[in-house]
Structure 1
């Protein structure tokens, strides 16, 4: 995280990475998060780690996904 960003700003967005990657944020929240990502290496790295998740999830059938929930 850049030194010019305070910790409270990061805490606001710390749990938004998965929602962002999965496209679940509202348009205004998405824009706010993208502004935050531009200066926060921690959140940027978290998004990078999750970037392949939509493709992996899309490769599962509904039955396979439900089986994962049962485990």
Structure 2
């Protein structure tokens, strides 16, 4: 009986470790999906007109050059 209980406890520990590993992998996959979705949004800012591609530029802040 003690061997069975020991085996069950060991299996639960192994299962808990595996569950933690799978949760980490899920978190990584969700982050990757979020990055891909953001890239999709950025790419969707391009619009095709006839044979030309028009890209909507992102706002850029220019800093004045220092003069010597």
TM-score, length of structure 1 as denominator length: 0.30
Structure whose residues are more often strand by fraction: 2
Structure whose residues are more often helix by fraction: 1
TM-score, length of structure 2 as denominator length: 0.31
Higher relative contact order (CA 8 A, sep 6+): 1
Instruction: Decide which structure has the larger Cα Rg and report it.
Output: 2
